[in-house]
Structure 1
Amino acid sequence: MGSNYQRFMHAFNELHNVIAKKVNRDPDTNFGELMGAAAKKRDKVIEKYVDEIDFYRELRNLLTHNTINGDEAAAEPSDSLINEIEKVTDKIRYSKQAKDLFLKRVRTFDVNDPLGKVLDVINHVRYTQFPVFDGDKLVGILSSIGVTKYLAKAMDKDIHAIKKATVRQILQVEDEQEFYEVISAETSVFDIEEIFSERIREGRTAYVLLIAKGDTIKKKSDLIGIVTPWDLPKVVANK
Structure 2
Amino acid sequence: MRQLIVLLYYYHFRGVELMENLLQGENVHRFEAAYNRIHNKLIDLVYPTRRHIPYGEALHSAKKLHNIVKYNYDILRQFGQLRNALVHRKIRNDFYIAEPHNEIVEEIEKICELLYIPPLALSIASQPVTTYTTTTPLKIILNKIKDKGFSQFPIYDENEFQGLLTEGGIANWLACNIINNSVSLDNVTAIDILKNEKKHNVRFLSKDCSIYDLEGTFEKSFEENLKLEAIIITHSGSTKQKPIGIVTSWDLVKIDHTTLSIASHV
Using the size of structure 2 for normalisation, the TM-score is 0.65
Aligned to 2:236: 214
Amino acid at match of 1:40: P
Q: Deviations over 1:125-182 (max 9, x none)?
A: 1211000111211011000110000000000279674332221121111112x23211
Q: Which runs of 5+ in 2 are unaligned?
A: 1-20, 50-61, 260-266
**TM-aligned CA distance change 1:119 to 1:66, over 3 Å:** closer
The alignment yields a C-alpha RMSD, in angstroms, of 3.9
Instruction: Indicate how the Cα distance of structure 1 residues 145 and 52 shifts in structure 2: closer, same or farther if over 3 A, else same.
Output: same
Distance 1:57 1:231, change over 3 A: closer
Within 5 Å, which residues of 2 pair with 1:79-98? Answer: 79=101, 82=105, 84-98=107-121
Amino acid corresponding to residue 163 of structure 2 in structure 1: G
1:189 is matched with which residue? 211
Cα displacement (A) at 1:61: 7.7
Equivalent residues in 2 for 1:78-227, closer than 5 Å: 78-79=100-101, 82=105, 84-102=107-125, 104-156=127-179, 161-176=184-199, 178-193=200-215, 195-196=217-218, 202=225, 204=227, 207-220=229-242, 223-227=243-247
1:7 aligns with 2:27: yes
Cα separation, partners in 2 of 1:58 and 1:231, compared to 1, 3 Å: closer
Question: Size of the alignment, in residue pairs?
Answer: 221
CA distance in 2, matches of 1:160, 1:149: 12
State the percentage of identical aligned residues: 24
Assess if the C-alpha contact under 8 Å between 1:4 and 1:76 holds in 2.
no
Q: Structure 1 residues 170, 72: closer, same or farther in 2, change over 3 A?
A: same
Distance 1:15 1:187, change over 3 A: farther
Contact 2:31 2:100 in 1 (8 A): no
Give the Cα–Cα distance (whole angstroms) in 2 for the partners of residues 185 and 13 of structure 1. 31
**How many angstroms apart in 1 are the aligned matches of 2:35 and 2:89?**
21
The one-letter amino acid of 1:183's match is L
Q: Relative to total residues, which structure has the larger helix share, 1 or 2?
A: 2
Task: Give the Cα–Cα distance (whole angstroms) in 1 for the partners of residues 86 and 174 of structure 2.
Answer: 70
- Which amino acid is 2:203 matched to? E
Cα shift readout 1:44-83 (whole Å, capped 9, x = no counterpart): 578657997698578658746874344322x313437545
Q: 1-side partners of 2:250 and 2:92: how far apart?
A: 59
TM-score, length basis structure 1: 0.71
